[in-house]
Amino acid sequence: MGVYAVTGSASGMGRAVVDKLTAAGHTVIGVDIQAADVVADLSTGEGRRGAVREVLSLAGGKLDGAVLAAGVGPVPGADRLPLIASVNYLGVVELLDGWRAALAASGSAKVVVFGSNSTTTTPAVPRRTVKALLSGDTAKAARTVRLFGKTAPPMMYAGSKIAVTRWVRRHATTQEWAGAGIRLNVLAPGAIMTPLLEKQLSTPSEAKVIRRFPVPVGGFGDAGQLGDWVVFMLSDAANFLCGSVVFVDGGSDAYFRPDAWPRPVPVSRLVPYAWKFLRYSGNR
């Protein structure tokens, strides 16, 4: 049986994951702003450092996996932009950085980060928003979307999820992560019926947009079923899953972008391998 850290453990999909892991006999250390083993506000540096420290202490320095589900939706209000950025981006990457050695200690750890299908279905998310986040500057990221007015929160939300997804894909294949036996992957849900979505549906203008959004299979996703996907991505079935982004969104991503992916690798990315190959051939 394993030891798992789950953020966003008090509600929605994080809560579903906790229930399923616990029922299967695993030990779960829940992290949330309320009602959790580790109570921490992931929007602050102090809260994130506390969450890292307390989880490591409760886990005894070894984690078999982590699920990063804490997140803030695209709540209205310009003052909420830094909050969305800090919880959804720093609340993932700073915790993973802090837990990396404990995950490596397990030898075959799995990490599931909650992305979102907003990453591929929100138009015109500024590149500089994502760039600012990847450099860790949440205040700058917030400034880059302010000019969008009422649509700034969905921009910030999508930007934070793009940045966190990109962070996972950049790190997943490195010596520090894949090389240390840690599988980093992203689960990208569509609209799933949880308190986060219920909050959005309670705002008439947002509800109209959400209900009109094309979902080929129809309706909303179920939090328990998303929990099953997470448990699967934490199991041995995921030993060969690395840097993947798994969309569970009723088909919206495929509907909007049927030909966007897969794409051939850019030639520039292969140049270092061509040199290595030429050098190798020359040595023979």
User: Which residue in 87, 112, 132, 230 binds ligand NAI (CB under 6 A)?
Assistant: 87
12 lines the binding site for ligand NAI (CB under 6 A): yes
Binding to ligand NAI (CB under 6 A): which residues in 173-212? 189, 191-192, 194-197
156 lines the binding site for ligand NAI (CB under 6 A): no
Q: Binding mask 63-82 vs ligand NAI (x if CB under 6 A, - otherwise)? A: ------xxxx----------
User: Of the candidates 144, 120, 115, which has an alpha carbon nearest to the alpha carbon of residue 131?
Assistant: 144
Among the residue ranges 35-43, 99-107, 134-142, 273-281, the one whose residues contact ligand NAI (CB under 6 A):
35-43
Q: What is the DSSP secondary-structure string of 157-195? A: HHHHHHHHHHHHHHHHTSTTTGGGTPEEEEEEE-SEESH
Alpha helices (H) in 24-151, listed in sequence order: 45-59, 81-85, 91-106, 118-121, 127-134, 138-146
User: Quick one: DSSP state of residue 245?
Assistant: E
10 lines the binding site for ligand NAI (CB under 6 A): yes
Chain-centre distance for alpha carbon 82: 17
When the beta carbons of 45 and 60 are compared against ligand NAI, the nearer one is 45
163 lines the binding site for ligand NAI (CB under 6 A): no
Nearest-approach distance from CB 81 to ligand NAI, in angstroms: 14
Nearest-approach distance from CB 63 to ligand NAI, in angstroms: 18
Residues 6+ apart with CB under 8 A from 49: 94, 98
User: Which residue in 22, 26, 33, 228 binds ligand NAI (CB under 6 A)?
Assistant: 33
153 lines the binding site for ligand NAI (CB under 6 A): no
Q: How far apart are alpha carbons 56 and 51 in whole angstroms?
A: 8
73 to 70, 108, 133, 223: CA distances (angstroms): 10, 32, 17, 16
Binding to ligand NAI (CB under 6 A): which residues in 102-141? 114, 116
| Catalytic residue (one of 4, 89, 157, 255) | 157
- In this structure, what token pair is assigned to residue 150? 């009422």
Is 157 among the residues known to form the active site? yes
Helix axes 152-172, 138-146, angle to 10 degrees: 140
List of residues contacting ligand NAI (CB under 6 A): 8, 10-14, 32-33, 41-43, 69-72, 87, 114, 116, 189, 191-192, 194-197
Q: Residues with catalytic annotation?
A: 157
